[in-house]
């Protein structure tokens, strides 16, 4: 066995000398079985999730055909845990603190060329003190929610897809530990590596997969006779069929109030109820406007203390009393909550496991660095509070009120709410409906609140909603209204400004400001790094050029 290990260390030249110089900080699982011991320093490629106790060396892949949708996993066989590897780099940092400062560094090579390197976020991974081998998928057909899948997607987006052209390529992955010490990021020696031949074949597509889809009867919309650049739409359809544009489920275009395009992909059809996640937040904005119009809520300048006795909740301050409805509509309240910061006490991920989401929100403290109304910071919990305010203010319940005042007038009869733990319609997101019904919602705003001659929502509320109140930090020329986003596309030198709803996965409803155009895109690329950028690409390069000629 000693001879076998020495042979493998020659084949997989991983440096362990450095890691033997400092005593381990924690006790690990060690070598979990002889296969692990025999392959220390190797990253094995596997076709599926094979338990370690059933795994054989004959299961290790040397080649793999990487299809648009496939299942490929890796299993690193390590000599130590990440905690101990980091301890070698920073011996003075305690165990519980060290794992918040570092993790594994992955490097991806194609045909010997470094394509992408990532210092994995410290929150990703398994039991960092003890784990010495683990399996993670890097591609999946099962929708597995793993950090490694997201990382591999980032590799593809940032050069990997361009490098993996048709043919056979050598993919190599290297692992090292890294630690961020503030002024310095230290990277350790190689701890594992593996390579595999990837076979890339572009699938043959049928004419039916590429062609503009004919609109079937009984859509409920008058059909448009406006011109469409079919070549642009066919090229988009080709990329969707090849999974170059991933997990897109529908595209609907309404021009001059008429149905121009209706396309479905990835097993979706006209009857599919799409989970568009935070697109549902914009419905909360609509319901607030209707409730104000009917006098159930005075106006959006009302403050939280008019709806709650905030002294009954934790972290009371007069600053909390003065948060206005419009601060929550504009994502500009001073609550100590930010969905863009996992360390924030009010991050939505900390809300979901709790028994009472409203109490979670009202218990939050206020951020000393924020002034309500002055800055934009995405805050899902605030929209949950808006939903609760609506639910307690309108007749019966928010769910029944929305059905009577919004959905029924639009002829929307098939939809599904998600609910909070208190069984209130969830305004944070998850409202499911068909693509054509989402188009009705968008077109209501395009019509300035009117539908079939009836003023469902006041024109004044639409105007307030479609006002650029605050810039989006880190984005050029992008703004936020009342739970609607704003941006401008430039096509052939001409600007097209749009307000839009957006949800995790890439789903969007676009309402264009100066042209009679409403566009719905639904997608289920949840938490994937390409979810929103690929929809921007679709709009910029295919959909808008095809329909604004």
- Give dist(CA 160, CA 42) in Å, integer: 22
pLDDT of residue 188 exceeding 90, the answer is yes
CA dihedral 43, 48, 50, 52 (to 10 degrees): 20
Q: For residue 344, what pLDDT band results from cuts at 50, 70 and 90?
A: very high
pLDDT at 125: 75
* pLDDT tens digits, 454-478: 999 999 999 999 999 999 999 999 9
- The per-residue pLDDT of the chain, averaged, comes to 95
Three-class SS state of 545? helix
pLDDT at 68: 87
User: Is residue 520 assigned to a domain?
Assistant: yes
| Domain end residue (candidates: 343, 367, 393) | 393
Count of domains forming the chain: 3
pLDDT digits (tens, 9 = 90+) for 246-300: 999 999 999 999 999 999 999 999 999 999 999 999 999 999 999 999 999 999 9
One domain for residues 260 and 381: no
Q: Are residues 269 and 334 in the same domain?
A: no
Reported for 233-240, long-range contacts at CB under 8 A and 24+ positions apart, including other chains, are 233/261, 233/263, 233/542, 233/543, 233/546, 234/210, 235/542, 236/538, 236/541, 236/542, 236/543, 237/209, 237/210, 237/211, 237/212, 237/263, 237/265, 238/205, 238/209, 238/210, 240/265, 240/266
Q: Tens digits of per-residue pLDDT, 139-179?
A: 998 878 899 999 999 999 999 999 999 999 999 999 999 99
- Residues with Cβ within 8 Å of residue 343, at least 6 apart in sequence: none
Of the pLDDT bands very low, low, confident and very high (cuts 50, 70, 90), residue 519 is very high
- Residue 186 predicted with pLDDT over 70: yes
Residue 142: predicted pLDDT:
86
Is residue 224 a part of any domain in this protein? no
Res. 14: pLDDT tops 80: no
Tell me the C-alpha distance between 126 and 131, whole Å: 7
Share of the chain above pLDDT 70, in %: 96
Domain identity same for 239 and 304: no
CATH of residue 389: 1.20.58
pLDDT above 50 (res 133) = yes
Mean pLDDT of 364-387: 98
What is the structure's pLDDT at 21? Answer: 62
* CA–CA distance, 173 with 473 (Å, rounded to integer): 35
Residue 16 lies in a domain: yes
Task: List, for residues 58-106, the tens digit of each pLDDT value.
Answer: 999 999 999 988 999 999 999 999 999 999 999 999 988 999 999 999 9
Query: Are 269 and 321 found together in one domain?
Result: no
- Cα 310 to Cα 318, 337, 390, 418, 445: the distances in Å are 9, 17, 17, 27, 35
Tell me what pLDDT residue 145 has: 83
- Domain with 327, as residue range(s), is 297-393
Q: Which residue has the tokens 């305690």?
A: 94
């Amino acid at each position: 066995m000693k001879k076998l290990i020495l042979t493998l260390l020659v084949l997989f030249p991983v440096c362990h000398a450095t890691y033997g110089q400092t005593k381990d900080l924690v006790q690990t699982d060690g070598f979990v079985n002889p296969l692990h011991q025999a392959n220390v320093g190797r990253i094995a490629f596997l076709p599926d999730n094979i338990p370690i106790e059933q795994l054989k060396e004959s299961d290790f892949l040397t080649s793999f055909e990487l299809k648009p949708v496939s299942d490929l996993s890796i299993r690193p066989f390590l000599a130590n845990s990440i905690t101990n590897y980091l301890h070698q780099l920073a011996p003075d940092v305690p165990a519980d603190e060290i794992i918040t400062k570092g993790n594994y560094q992955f490097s991806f090579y194609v045909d010997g060329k470094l394509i992408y390197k990532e210092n994995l976020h410290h929150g990703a991974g398994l039991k960092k003190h003890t784990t010495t081998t683990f399996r993670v998928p890097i591609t999946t057909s099962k929708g597995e929610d793993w950090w490694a899948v997201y990382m591999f997607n980032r590799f593809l987006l940032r050069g990997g897809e361009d490098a993996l052209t048709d043919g056979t390529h050598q993919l190599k992955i290297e692992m090292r530990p890294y630690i961020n010490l503030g002024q310095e990021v230290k990277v350790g020696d190689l701890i594992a590596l593996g390579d595999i031949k990837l076979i890339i074949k572009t699938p043959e597509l049928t004419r039916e997969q590429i062609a503009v889809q004919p609109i079937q009867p009984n859509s409920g919309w008058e059909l448009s006779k406006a011109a469409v650049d079919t070549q642009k739409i066919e090229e988009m359809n080709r990329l969707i069929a090849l999974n170059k544009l991933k997990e897109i489920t529908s595209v609907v275009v309404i021009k001059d109030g008429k149905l121009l395009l209706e396309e479905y992909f990835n097993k979706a059809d006209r009857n599919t109820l799409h989970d568009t996640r935070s697109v549902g937040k914009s419905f909360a904005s609509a319901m607030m406007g209707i409730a104000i119009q009917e006098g159930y809520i005075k106006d959006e300048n009302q403050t939280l203390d008019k709806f709650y006795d905030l002294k009954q909740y934790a972290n009371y301050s007069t600053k909390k009393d003065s948060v206005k409805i419009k601060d929550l509509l504009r994502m500009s309240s001073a609550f100590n909550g930010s969905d863009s910061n996992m360390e924030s006490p009010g991050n939505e991920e900390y809300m979901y496991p709790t028994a009472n989401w409203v109490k979670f929100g009202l218990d939050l403290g206020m951020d000393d660095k924020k002034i309500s109304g002055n800055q934009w910071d995405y805050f899902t919990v605030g929209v949950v509070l808006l939903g609760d305010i609506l639910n307690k203010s309108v007749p019966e319940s928010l769910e029944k009120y929305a059905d009577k005042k919004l959905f029924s007038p639009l002829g929307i009869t098939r939809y599904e709410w998600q609910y909070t733990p208190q069984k209130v319609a969830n305004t944070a997101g998850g409202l499911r409906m068909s693509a054509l019904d989402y188009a009705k919602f968008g077109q209501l705003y395009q019509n300035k609140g009117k539908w079939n001659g009836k003023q469902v929502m006041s024109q004044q509320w639409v105007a307030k909603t479609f006002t650029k109140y605050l810039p989006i930090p880190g984005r050029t020329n992008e703004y936020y209204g009342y739970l609607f986003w704003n941006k401008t596309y430039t096509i052939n030198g001409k600007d097209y400004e749009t307000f839009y709803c957006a949800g995790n996965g890439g789903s969007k409803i676009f309402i264009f400001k100066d042209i009679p155009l409403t566009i719905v895109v639904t997608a289920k690329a949840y938490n994937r790094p390409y979810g929103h950028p690929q929809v921007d690409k679709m709009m910029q390069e295919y959909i808008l050029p095809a329909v604004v000629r």
